Structures are given as structure tokens and as C-alpha cells.
Structure 1
Amino acid sequence: MFRKDYLLRMVEEMTEAIGKVFTLKQQRKHAEALSELDELLRRNFGLNSSLLNSLPAEDVIELFRFRGIIEVDNLQQAARLLEEEAYIYGEKAKVEGIDDEERQHSLDEELIRLMKSLHFYLYALNHGANPKLLDAPDRAESILELTKEYERPARTEKQLAMYREQQGKYDQAENSWYRLLHVGGEHPVNYRHDVQAFYERLSELEDAKLETGGLPREEVEEGLAQLNREMANG
């Protein structure tokens, strides 16, 4: 009960701060809006935006480990703040009169934060976060739509594959694994055992569930056979 009340208080505080940030954005007070979010990160988590955006995602996640467990509900709150930062930079890029270099910088900062936020949302959802606390599923889908033209980091693509499987969207999960093996990723061989385990999990499901998930049994068997051939050939 204490932890639930604690989380709700944090969410209420964050919601209030984001409302203030929204007003500052409307007034084009972008620096003040960013400062407000940075202060909330510092106060709630002892972190700051610069640290969250400079460290690799895996290292940031470790900062949320307490007594051996990643506090995923806190992580998704940090994701929400980074997401809001991204939108501020997106608004900065639209300001008339700024030069091309400054506009591109703002767009780059927006994308960095959207990708990092997406990774944290997916990781949190894959590891037991409360999906209703911040509407994280809807927020993740929104960011996926906003960033659909960009290649996702391999670590994020893996989280997306796991999340799609969790949702029962097996065809979309397979698409993410395919991208890791054949399109992106510096070391696709590292993901072969993950993909093999994915197909083996699906092979244990009923035909009707596979059909509903968009990946009929014959396609599962075909995918696993193809992967086994690739692994045999090195």
C-alpha cells in the first residue's frame, strides 16, 4: 500500500509539472520548460537529463536498480519525462527565425530522446511495469509512429520484438527479429539463439492462437528451419 501511494504521489507531481511545461511550451519558453523537467528528474530520481541522454540505455536502466531489482515503474516515469523533453525540442525546431544548424540540432535532440524514451517504455512493459500508470502502451505506439522512418537501435528492436510477442502480435515480433538478423545490428549472430527460442515458444502454441497472431504454424516451422540452416552454415 505504501509503495502504491508513493507511486501515485510521484505521478501526480509529474502530471502537474508536465501541465506547467505545456504552458511554458505555448509561451515558447523552451529553456524554462526543459529546466522544469530537469528539476523533476533530479528531485525524484537524483538524475538529470544530461546523464540520461549521454549514457547508453542499458547503463541508465541500471541506475534504477534497487536491492537487485529494476524499479520499472520509476523507469517508465523517467521515460515520460524524456518523451516530454523530446516534444520541447520538436517545438524549438519549429520556431521561425532560427538558422538551419540550430533547427537540425533541435531535431536531433528530439530524436535522441524519443528513441531513449521508447526503449525505457518497452523495457518497463516487458518487465512487469503497470501499463495503466502512465498509459505506457499508447505512448510507446505513438513514439513508434513518430519514429517509423528511422532505424531503431538493436537493443530497442529486441525489446520491441519481445513486446510484440507479449501482445500476441507474432508476425510483428518476427519482423523485428528479422530486422535484427538481416537488416540492422552490428552482430546479428548474437540474436540467433533469441530468435530460435522465439520460434520454439511459438511452436508450443495452439494453431488458433498462431493464426490470430498473424503467424500460422507453417510459417513458424519455415522460419525455424531457415534459421537452423543459417546457424549450421555459420
Structure 2
Amino acid sequence: MYQRDYILRMIEQAGVIVGRVMHLARNKRMQEAIELLQQAMKEMLGLGSKLIGALSVKDLIALLSKDGELDSAKVLALGDLMKAQSELQREGGEEAAAQRTARKSLELLLIGREYDARGELREEFNRRIQEALDITGRAGLNEGILSRIVGYYEEQGSYAWAEDALFYRLEVLQGGERELEWRAAVEEGIRMYERWVLLEDTPLRAGGLSAEEAEEGLRTLRQLKITQSQ
């Protein structure tokens, strides 16, 4: 109960801060909005905005963990604060910085979701991930994020979206010096389709895919694997 209360309190606190930040931004008080957001990051998470921007997501995960256990409340709160930061950057004409912040927030939330083994915060993570995806789109996402997005959609039962993300990932990896990564992605895709062809048609169709399309996708990837090996 204490853990649940702590998580809800952190989420609520971040929500209040974001509301105040965006109110200031709407009233053209951008500097005050930026300062309030920076202060919130420092007080709630113990991390300055410059440090958050400089660190990799892997390093952020380490800093938000204690004794090997990730503080999911802080991940969710940071995701909310980074979304607000991205919006402020966009309002200030810093489109590239806004996209970098949004992508980092997306990756952070995707990894945080994986740590939520019991699924107690699944809805909280899913909503934020979808909002982040709406902002970032797929262009410019690195291979690690794309891989997690495929898994995210599959777990959601959004099979058509998972298929689309998989083939986009393969397109990103094709050519150049990333053949081993491409091959690994093809193998992952084959295993994914092998899971899907065992499903009933009803859940597949609910996820935007038919049994015939799943079988066709499996044949396509198996053929890609054979062709690449020749």
C-alpha cells in the first residue's frame, strides 16, 4: 500500500508541476516555466535538467535505481517532466532539441515498462509511451528503441502496428555495416510471426491482422533469411 501511495503521489506531484509549467508557457512566461521545470527535476529526482540531457538512458536508469531496483515512480515522473521540457523547447523554436528530449523520454518509458514485471503500472506506462510515440514518430529513432517498440505493440495486441514497426526496423538496418543486426532482427521477426500463427483468428483480427497475413509475413521473413544467406 505504501509503495502504491508513493507512486501515485509522485505522479500527481509531477502532474501539478507540468500543469503550472504549461500555464506559464501559454502566458508567454517562458523563462519562469523553464526555471520551474528545472527546479522540479532537481527537487523530485535529484537530477538537474542539464545532467538529464547529457546522460544516456542507461545512465539515467542506473541513477533512478537503488539496490538494483528501479524506482518506477521516478521514471514516470521524469517522463512527464521531459514531455513538458520537450514542449517548452518546441515553443522556443528548438525543434531538434525537442525531438531529442522526446526520444529520450520514449526510450526511458519503454525500458521502465520492461522493469514493471507484474504489470501493476502497465496502463500508466502505456499511456505515456503512446503519447511519446505521437510526438516522435518513427523517423530518427535508433535501433534499440525500434526493437522495444515492436515488443511493446505485440504485448498490446496491436499486431498490425508491431508488423509495421518490425519492417521499418529492418529497413533502417538494411545495408551498410549492420548486417548482423539485420539478421538478428529477422530472426526475432520470424519468432514473432511463429507466435502469431498459433493464435486464433479473432485476437489477430482485433489487432489489425488476419491469420493469412500472419502466415504471409512468416513466409516473407523466412524467404528474406534464405535470400540473405545465399
Q: 2:111 aligns with which of 123, 131, 138?
A: 123
User: Residue in 2 aligned with 1:98?
Assistant: none
2:88 and 2:37 map into 1 onto residues whose CA distance is 10
SS in 2 for 1:78: helix
Answer whether contact 2:150 2:166 (CA < 8 A) is retained: yes
Answer whether contact 1:126 1:159 (CA < 8 A) is retained: no
Matching of residues 74-153 of structure 1 within 5 Å? 74-93=74-93, 106-128=94-116, 130-133=121-124, 136-148=125-137, 150-153=139-142
1:197 and 1:69 map into 2 onto residues whose CA distance is 30
SS in 2 for 1:151: coil
Q: 1:190 aligns with which of 175, 184, 190?
A: 184
2:88 and 2:25 map into 1 onto residues whose CA distance is 7
Answer whether contact 2:204 2:211 (CA < 8 A) is retained: yes
Answer whether contact 2:6 2:73 (CA < 8 A) is retained: no
Moved more, 4-13 or 58-67: 58-67
TM-score of the two chains, using structure 2 as the length reference: 0.82
Cα distance, 1:153–1:10 mapped onto 2, change above 3 Å:
same
Aligned-residue Cα RMSD (Å) equals 2.4
Moved more, 84-93 or 192-201: 192-201
Structure 1, unaligned runs of 5 or more: 94-105
User: Residue in 1 aligned with 2:50?
Assistant: 50
Post-superposition Cα deviations, 1:46-66, rounded to whole Å, max 9, x if no partner, equal 222222222332332333333
One-letter amino acid matched to 1:188: W
Answer whether contact 2:106 2:132 (CA < 8 A) is retained: yes
Stretches of 4+ moved more than 4 A in 1?
Answer: none
The count of aligned residue pairs is 220
TM-score of the two chains, using structure 1 as the length reference: 0.81
User: Residue in 1 aligned with 2:215?
Assistant: 221
Structure 1 residue 149: deviation in Å?
A: 7.2
Once the two structures are aligned, what percentage of the paired residues are identical?
26
Structure 1 residue 145: deviation in Å?
A: 2.8
Structure 2, unaligned runs of 5 or more: none
1:148 and 1:19 map into 2 onto residues whose CA distance is 24
Structure 1 residue 181: deviation in Å?
A: 1.1
Structure 1 residue 126: deviation in Å?
A: 4.4
